[in-house]
Amino acid sequence: MDWGMKNRLARIIRPETGRTVMLAVDHGYFLGPTSRLEEPRKTIEPLISYADALMPTRGVLRTSVDPNTSTPIVLRVSGGTSVIGPSLADEGITTPMEEAVRLNVVGVALSIFVGTEHEHQTLLSLSQLVTEGQKYGMPVLAVTAVGKELEKRDARYLSLCCRIAAELGANVVKTYYCDGFETVTKGCPVPCVVAGGPKLNTEMDAFELTYGAIQNGAVGVDMGRNIWQSPHPVAMIRAIRHIVHENATPKQALELFESIKNG
């Protein structure tokens, strides 16, 4: 692996722990001004210094992220659909590699929609991105997206998606946590991070999801709503970091969350 690729990957997955807490703020690319991300700058500013990497689109990066930040950026480069359109799976590449390089990002992310009528185009987009990424030393993160079909998130389906993403050359795969998650990570020869998905009922649910993912082979999270839709987003991201980087249990994470929240 070339130096540039290794260096960028080391800025996403921290070499000290081999883990990462990525903060996902790309939801607007198909959801519009989703709850608690209506004004991206206000959501991002208090949290960015606690994230190992931030995942926005180019529009939110340019308008809402301070260019003086030292937090590395993994740029969402796929889209072209909306939540009210005919199919969330009908994505293409929205931002060329040249622009990602100009924006000085450390990785690019796109979604694949395995098992949908658009799987072929999204998988070829992944392959194309990987080919360009290899040219520029740019890691590619593949997101195993499920659109509105959240019930698809089981080990059999996610194992298939993650393995295909890795086979096509993704450097990191972002997927969902599920029962039997160890079969997903075992079958995927590149690092996996988990999304949080829609806001869970309690903080403890998010801590248990994170802990379960780490215990079963994930290198971290790329989490959004369960952090910034919390009434205490800073306490939340710090508690998630405690699990990911310090092997805290969900109970210890909750204790930290409560102490920051009340402090």
Catalytic residue numbers, as ranges: 174
What is the C-alpha to C-alpha distance for residues 31 and 213, in angstroms, rounded to an integer? 26
Can residue 143 be called a binding residue for ligand R5P (CB under 6 A)? yes
Contact 223, 52 (CB under 8 A): no
Residue with Cβ nearer ligand R5P (14 or 199): 199
Window 165-204: residues binding ligand R5P (CB under 6 A): 195-197
| Shortest spacing between CB 176 and ligand R5P, in angstroms | 8
Can residue 224 be called a binding residue for ligand R5P (CB under 6 A)? yes
Can residue 58 be called a binding residue for ligand R5P (CB under 6 A)? no
What is the C-alpha to C-alpha distance for residues 100 and 56, in angstroms, rounded to an integer? 12
Residue with Cβ nearer ligand R5P (6 or 148): 148
| Shortest spacing between CB 55 and ligand R5P, in angstroms | 6
Can residue 24 be called a binding residue for ligand R5P (CB under 6 A)? yes
Residue with Cβ nearer ligand R5P (216 or 226): 226
Q: Give backbone dihedrals phi and psi of 93, rounded to 5 degrees, phi first.
A: -80, 125
Contact 113, 91 (CB under 8 A): yes
SS3 48: helix
Q: Cα–Cα–Cα angle for 256, 22, 147, nearest 5°?
A: 115
**Single-letter amino acid, residue 194:** V
Count CB neighbours of 128 within 10 A. Answer: 15
Residue with Cβ nearer ligand R5P (56 or 250): 56
The interface region with ligand R5P, picked from 23-31, 46-54, 61-69, 128-136 by CB under 6 A, is: 23-31
Please state, in angstroms and as integers, the Cα–Cα distance from residue 160 to each residue in 117, 118, 169, following that order.
Answer: 16, 16, 14
Can residue 132 be called a binding residue for ligand R5P (CB under 6 A)? no
- Summarize as ranges the residues that interact with ligand R5P (CB under 6 A): 24, 26-27, 55, 111, 143, 145, 195-197, 222-226
